[in-house]
Amino acid sequence: MSIAIRTAAQLAALLEQPPDYVASGILLDHVARLTEYEGYSPEELAHFLIVCPGDELCDVNRVLGFDLAATPPEYVDPHDGWYEMAVVISDAGFGWVILIKDDPAVDAALLSICRDHVQPA
């Protein structure tokens, strides 16, 4: 079951018992960058989704509220067994940061989206 993080309280609760060291580091890096925007809280700029093994694209789309396969990401970066994907969904710059485990138990369609959009090194 994917983990959606929409508030600072949800993020704090997750980081008390992180699902994965790499995923936690990616989340903390994003929050640090988002707090640099004066006048905005991090949750006004981005929400986070951790996609877990067993999640399917249709489940992820339901949480996000849009079709991930039809919405090109700003970027996809690989991180030691994870993909970090950013998708901006509003003209104001609001978006989702999606962490997808590179695992055979993750829906092949999700992994395909990641692999198709990875930025060349």
Query: Angle at the Cα of 97 (from 118 to 91), degrees rounded to 5?
Result: 100
pLDDT band at 76 (very low <50, low <70, confident <90, very high): very high
The single-letter code of the amino acid at 54 is G
Q: Is the pLDDT of residue 40 over 90?
A: no
Q: DSSP letters of 20-41?
A: -HHHHHHHHHHHHHHTTSTT--
Phi/psi region, residue 77 (left: phi>0; alpha: psi -120 to 50; beta: rest), is beta
Range of the domain at 42: 3-117
The model carries a pTM of 0.88
Structural domains of the chain, count: 1
Q: Is the pLDDT of residue 108 over 80?
A: yes
